[in-house]
Copies of this chain bind each other. A is one copy, B any other.
């Protein structure tokens, strides 16, 4: 079981709500994925008209909502967005995202730590998106974040675990849950992350933009489960030499 802030989840696959063709398509894909924790941007909520193509399908699914601060470029903007989200959605869970750069959407370590500290004080359950920086992750943990969400690669790039070597260090050092966020573009990436011992992965683009989001949701569900099972069962060590899996000698003499 994945545990974040004393809440347990059967699924280690966290998903997003962006880029789906429709609310219906999103609902079907997320259902197939087995996800129990779903992030959504504040902007997606049509608060004014109270008609929502995103929120209703999620509520039907019964998943926990994880509003995010995507679009915020400073700690101040993120804190403001977080308060709005809490009010609008009635949850103090928050995915903290601050990325001043529009091209690669990479997170700002300084503003993220500053906002995290403030939001923890205000009673939020803070899950910050951050670079795969082991020292920063320790500091985010120290100010009270409920998990850390280091990136594998830029958001939406589908490039996999470019930051693998640093993620290994984060997993080794972290006492809160480690969730790989961004860059996971294929089930094999998700399985690899889980095999390394991360606690969960967040996948959005790879499911949402697939020609068949339902099938892809199911594929990620299986891959996350496969990777976690392998991590728990114990993987073999990597060898330079071969090791025979079939007996090699004397088969002719034997007969």
Q: Residues of A at under 8 Å CB distance from B?
A: 16, 18-19, 39-44, 47, 68, 70-72, 77, 80-81, 84, 97, 99-110, 113, 131, 133-136, 138-139, 153-159, 162-166, 169, 173, 182, 185-189, 191-192, 195, 204-206, 208-213, 215-216, 218-223, 225-227, 229-230, 232-252, 254-255
Contacts and interface: CB of A to CB of B under 8 A. Distances in A.
Contacts of A71: 246-252
- Pick the most buried of A157, A219, A242, A248: most chain B CB atoms within 10 A of its CB: A242
A242 B157 contact: yes
A205 B136 contact: no
Indicate how many identical chains form the complex.
4
A150 B97 CA distance: 23
A244 B185 contact: no
Contact of A234 (B19, B44, B97, B211): B211
Given A43-B251, A110-B110, A219-B229, A154 B241 contact: yes
Contact of A16 (B206, B210, B245): B245
Contacts of A251: 41-43, 70-72, 81
B156 A135 contact: no
B242 A105 contact: yes
A195 B213 CA distance: 16
A182 B243 CA distance: 10
A108 B135 contact: yes
Contacts of A41: 246-247, 251
